[in-house]
């Protein structure tokens, strides 16, 4: 089936335009007629959990698979906070504006902090804490960060250590949204490992949907106090899939070898190639290219021309004649598509 009204050669709109990596589909086919227990108690989920624990170098974490990022966020946050507690997020954070009030729908305020680069720091959080002094205000209790952030930047090891330290000192829990963690960990500027992240946050998730799976995020809980009865929360929010094997099989494929990292790396390489060539053609980027999302600044006329062959989002306006666009690459982006884009840009 071809999208009827689609004339573009390639879409750089996001990293979930294609299906799953072929290995995953193959594994689904191979296991299809086996009978397995339901609701995540099948052998594949068990095997995937053991495999991921090895990659995390921590046998004590709890791991749960859910369908998507908003679901992961709302379950993690609502299962941890008391009714009067809030979560702190960057204003660019996914939970702040792009989840239709999913967190508030579970009863909790999201305290937002204005940022430019998508990242929170102890200083910014401290300012917010200082404003929350008594029972007439919510009690901020959790810090939510995304890696990569929603604007394509990444957290360096020292930044995460500082946040970790600050949270410990201020009785805050640290939650990392890793919907694009594959791209973050494969960034050329990254100096963090999965094993280090486990130790620096209380809970995080490893995104499958945006890194080669059909659906699926793996929630990893390292803080002992947050583990109790987590599956009750999942069931209550509609997140326990009857055929939970669908999630287990995918994560087993992603982690039994290093497929997860290969896919993240490919996406980043494609973004880097785009960046380098765009810069070489004399254009600037809004932010340094650190992951699979880049933000070139182009003349509006050039943008209009590019739209004839490529799909992408116009991110923001610089001035009357110039705008920022967002290009996203994925595990499935073909090098030929990148080259064609650059060739077309040259001709404009």
Q: Which of 50, 54, 84, 189 binds a copy of itself (CB under 8 A)?
A: 84
176, 142 contact by CB (below 8 A): no
Cα–Cα distance for residue pair 129/31, rounded to 1 Å: 51
**CB neighbours of residue 309 within 10 Å:** 13
Considering only 116, 243, 301, 317, the residue that binds a copy of itself (CB under 8 A) is 243
Q: Between residue 36 and residue 55, which ones bind a copy of itself under the rule CB under 8 A?
A: 36-39, 42-44, 47
Residues binding a copy of itself: what is the number (CB under 8 A)? Answer: 85
Considering beta carbons, is residue 19 or 288 the nearer one to a copy of itself? Answer: 19
DSSP code per residue over 112-139 = EE--SSS---HHHHHHHHHT--STTS-E
Query: Residue ranges of the alpha helices (H) in 170-258?
Result: 181-185, 194-200, 230-236, 245-256
**To 10 degrees, what angle do helices 43-56 and 245-256 make?**
40
Q: Out of 239, 259, 298, 345, point to the residue binding a copy of itself (CB under 8 A).
A: 239
Applying CB under 8 A, which part among 64-72, 168-176, 187-195, 283-291 lies near a copy of itself? 64-72
Q: Which residue from 50, 54, 57, 98 is in contact with a copy of itself, where contact means CB under 8 A? A: 98
End-to-end CA separation in angstroms for the chain: 31
Among 69, 118, 152, 264, binds a copy of itself (CB under 8 A): 69
d(CA 43, CA 37): 8
- 233 is a site residue for a copy of itself (CB under 8 A): yes
- Whole-number Å distance between alpha carbons of 13 and 167: 35
In angstroms, what is the minimal distance from the CB of 110 to a copy of itself? 8
Q: In this structure, what token pair is assigned to residue 77?
A: 């946050």
Interacting positions 189-218 with a copy of itself (CB under 8 A): 209-210, 214-215
**Residue choice 7, 83, 169, 282 for contact with a copy of itself (CB under 8 A):** 83
Helix (H) / strand (E) containing 299: strand 296-299
Residues 105-134, interacting with a copy of itself (CB under 8 A): 105-110, 131
Q: Print burial letters for 197-216: b (CB count within 10 Å at least 16), e (below 16).
A: bbebbbbbbbbbbbbbbbbb
Region 255-314 residues binding a copy of itself, contact defined as CB under 8 A: none
In the complex with a copy of itself, the residue whose CB is nearer, 43 or 300, is: 43
Smallest distance, Å, CB 322 to a copy of itself?
Answer: 20
Q: Which of residues 5-34 bind a copy of itself (CB under 8 A)?
A: 10-11, 13-14, 16-20, 22, 25, 28-29, 31-34
Q: Which is nearer to a copy of itself, 135 or 319 (CB)?
A: 135
């Amino acid at each position: 089936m071809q999208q009827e009204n689609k004339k573009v050669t390639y879409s750089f709109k996001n990293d979930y335009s294609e299906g799953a990596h072929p290995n995953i589909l193959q594994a689904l086919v191979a296991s299809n007629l086996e009978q397995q227990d339901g609701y995540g108690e099948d052998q594949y989920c068990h095997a995937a959990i053991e495999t991921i624990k090895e990659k995390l170098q921590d046998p004590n974490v709890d791991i749960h698979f859910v369908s998507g990022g908003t679901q992961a966020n709302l379950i993690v946050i609502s299962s941890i906070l008391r009714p009067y507690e809030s979560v702190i997020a960057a204003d660019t954070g996914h939970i702040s504006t792009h989840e239709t009030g999913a967190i508030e729908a579970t009863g909790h305020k999201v305290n937002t902090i204005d940022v430019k680069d998508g990242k929170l720091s102890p200083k910014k959080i401290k300012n917010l804490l200082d404003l929350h002094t008594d029972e007439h205000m919510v009690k901020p209790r959790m810090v939510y960060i995304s890696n990569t952030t929603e604007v394509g930047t990444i957290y360096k090891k020292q930044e995460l250590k500082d946040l970790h330290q600050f949270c410990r000192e201020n009785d805050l829990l640290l939650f990392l949204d890793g919907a694009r963690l594959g791209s973050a960990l494969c960034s050329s500027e990254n100096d963090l490992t999965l094993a280090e992240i486990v130790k620096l946050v209380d809970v995080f998730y490893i995104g499958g949907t945006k890194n080669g799976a059909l659906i699926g995020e793996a929630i990893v809980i390292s803080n002992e106090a947050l583990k109790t009865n987590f599956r009750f929360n999942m069931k209550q929010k509609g997140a326990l899939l009857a055929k939970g094997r669908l999630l287990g099989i995918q994560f087993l494929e992603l982690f039994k070898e290093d497929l997860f990292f290969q896919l993240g790396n490919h996406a980043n390489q494609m973004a880097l190639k785009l960046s380098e060539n765009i810069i070489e053609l004399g254009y600037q980027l809004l932010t340094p290219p650190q992951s699979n999302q880049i933000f070139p600044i182009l003349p509006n006329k050039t943008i209009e021309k590019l739209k004839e062959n490529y799909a992408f989002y116009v991110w923001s306006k610089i001035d009357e004649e110039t705008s920022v666009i967002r290009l996203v690459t994925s595990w499935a982006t073909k090098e030929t598509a990148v080259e064609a884009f650059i060739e077309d840009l040259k001709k404009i």
